[in-house]
Structure 1
Amino acid sequence: MEPETYQVVQQREDLWRFIRNHPEWYRYLTRDPNRLKELELTSKQFYGKTMPQRLQKTQQNMQMLSLLMQMAGSWKD
């Protein structure tokens, strides 16, 4: 792997962990360092950090909060 690519990966713990769990990415980056952006996107998808995934998680949390509030309101009555 090129030293510049290695430094970028080493500085970002999420990418470092992803490569440790998916060693094929080490080979991909060794052969083509331009795939770093693809690695970042794949890592974000794996860890659930893309915008649609975050919105879905926020939506689920709001639904859970609403349900808990409804349950707390019915418990008082």
Structure 2
Amino acid sequence: MSVVLSIRIPKKLKEEMDKLKDLVDWPSEIRAFLEERVRRYKRIKVLREVDQILEQLPETPRGLADKLMREDRERY
């Protein structure tokens, strides 16, 4: 299912687009652009949510990573 999205653009831009209409399928170009933007902003949204979750986690004590790596190496 699809819907119609209507936008206003400057007249000069429309004239330039019309000059290129035999080279460019504008509806497909615009649709692809919007799809990419939606994907990008969805990723940004997820990253912000992850950042918020990470900010709520307690801080790791200094030197813990070194300690855990040493313990892990000693096991093998």
The interval holding the TM-score normalised by the smaller chain is 0.3 to 0.5
Q: Relative CO higher for 1 or 2, CA cutoff 8 Å, sep ≥ 6? A: 1
Normalising by structure 2, we get a TM-score of 0.41
Larger C-alpha radius of gyration, 1 or 2?
Answer: 2
Normalising by structure 1, we get a TM-score of 0.41
